[in-house]
Amino acid sequence: MLTWTDVLRFASKGNPTPPNRVDKTDAEWKKLLTEEEYYITRKKGTERAFTGEYCEAHDPGLYACRCCGTNLFDSTLKFESGTGWPSFTQPINENAVAYHKDSSFGMVRVEVLCNVCDGHLGHVFPDGPAPSGLRYCINSASIKLVEKTAAV
Q: Are 143 and 72 in contact (CB under 8 A)?
A: yes
Q: Could you say which of 55, 65, 117, 137 is catalytic?
A: 137
Q: Are 117 and 24 in contact (CB under 8 A)?
A: yes
- Residue 18 makes CB contacts below 8 A (sequence gap 6+) with 95, 96, 98, 115, 116
Question: Is 137 among the residues known to form the active site?
Answer: yes
Distance separating alpha carbons of residues 87 and 19, to the nearest angstrom? 23
Q: Catalytic residue numbers? A: 137
